[in-house]
Amino acid sequence: MNHLAQHARPTAQSRPIPPRAAFYVLASIVVSFLAASSAPTPLYASYQAEWGFSPITTTVVFGIYAIAVLSGLLVLGKLSDHVGRRPVLISAIAAQAVAMVLFSTAGGVGELLVARIVQGLSTGAALGAVGAAMMDINRSRGTMANAFAPGLGTATGALVSGFVVQYLPAPTHTIYLALLGVFVAQAVAISLIDETVTRAPGALASLVPEIKLPRTVRGAALAAAPVIFAVWALAGFYGSLGPALVRTLVGSTSAVWGGLGLFVLAFVAAVAVLVLRDARATTVMYTGIGALIVGVAVTLLAVAQNVPALFFAGTAVAGFGFGSGFQGGIRTVLPLTRPHESSGVLSLLFVVAYLGMGVPSVVAGTLVVHGGGLVPTSEEYGAVVIGLALLALAALLLRRGTQSASGVLVASGGTPSVEVREAGHADAVSPR
């Protein structure tokens, strides 16, 4: 048996945190990292007023984070398969703590960009490792947590940051110092849990970026990628231009309103993961695409008619599409991976997600300044998201038709085992 697939055996020096508690510690890292990533969202208006930059700069600050996450995923995404989960996570948490200090002391756009780069690199390094570690402990629950925790973290960061900005002193310092305390506590907790994989050679080789999918997951990943890209493109909009659009619709400069749109989107996304946890993965993806199209269409109508209540209703529906689309993609692909492949495959899925989140939002920021302005750009962005969702639907239907014609069967999500037959090759992957 591959030594990466083996759990660390309990010894006399076993760490004091048992596996069940360790699982929740690991899940909390996803929540806190994603909360930290969305914490600056309600602050962009404050930064813009203080430093006098344009909406393009806002989306560049947002986009540079996505690029940094992509870099972290591509370079460091597989490192934990070789050096262990704990060293990677402790290092990533330490870097995240440094980012919080940089945020709290930033005096201009340059410092803000540096903080976002450090934050993005540490997030990219952590996502694959923490997701794989949860699956090492419990494969089925780990798959679910990888879909649920990002939405919960994003929602928490956006809302809490908005309230801190609005009601507490020194808002550009307070939220980051509070997160710094959380990261210190998590670093201590990670040092007290057992390692879930043994060390393996090839750590330096794993740092060379490689876009490679195991043969058994390629078809599923290609079908899931358009869905994941589409739903995270919507998240990118709410994280970059969403606050300004919401404040324009409601006629308020409140930071709470600025973070509320992203909170509704991400919170409902997390709820969708729980509601659909027992449904088949393909059903969840179809539900996500349908909800995304309907939700974005409603928000476009709300923007055109200037109806804030309808906008938030559409955002909630779109959020359900975000959560179910992302969950469906994760649950379609991850059950097909072997334990030593989980970190790398999960990292590649997040690469797709952060490409979807970063690239369209930067283009939108440019259009706000050099195109028709905030509202027309928002309408164009929504139309593009709907188009992406329709392309994702077409890709799913095409793959389903191909499978029906060739007799290929891929069953995933909610099953005790996953059987894959591809070109005469059969493998059984049994979640732990």
Q: pLDDT tens across 224-260, in order?
A: 888 899 898 888 888 777 888 888 898 887 878 878 8
Q: In this structure, are residues 286 and 224 in contact, taking their beta carbons and an 8 Å threshold?
A: no
Instruction: Copy the structure tokens of residue 157.
Output: 């960061």
> With contact defined as beta carbons under 8 Å apart, do 104 and 172 qualify?
yes
Q: Which residue is listed with tokens 């900005």?
A: 165
**Number of Cβ atoms within 10 Å of the Cβ of 51:** 14
When the pLDDT of each residue in the chain is averaged and rounded to a whole number, the result is 82
Higher-scoring residue by pLDDT: 97, 38: 97
Please provide the DSSP assignment of 182-236 as one string: HHHHHHHHHTTB--SS---S-HHHHTS------GGGHHHHHHHHHHHHHHHHHHH
Q: What is the pTM of this model?
A: 0.73
Share of the chain above pLDDT 70, in %: 88
Q: How far apart are CA 253 and CA 46, in angstroms?
A: 10
- Does residue 257 lie within any of the structural domains? yes
Question: Residue 11 falls within a domain, yes or no?
Answer: no
* Residue 318: domain span: 16-196+210-429
Q: What is the pLDDT of residue 259?
A: 82
Q: Rounded to whole angstroms, how far apart are CA atoms 314 and 294?
A: 8
Confidence of residue 417 (pLDDT cuts 50, 70, 90): very low
Give how many domains the chain has, as a whole number. 1
Task: State the pLDDT confidence band at 102, using cuts at 50, 70 and 90.
Answer: very high
Cα separation, 394 vs 399, whole angstroms: 9
Asked if 333 and 217 count as a contact pair (C-beta separation under 8 A), the reply is: yes
For residue 36, tell me if it sits in a domain: yes
Our CA angle for 227, 241, 261, nearest 5°, is 75
How many CB atoms sit inside 10 A of residue 91's CB?
18
350's tokens: 């997040």
Question: Residue 97: which CATH number?
Answer: 1.20.1250.20
Residue 8 maps to a domain: no
What three-state secondary structure class fits 426? strand
State residue 189's pLDDT score. 94
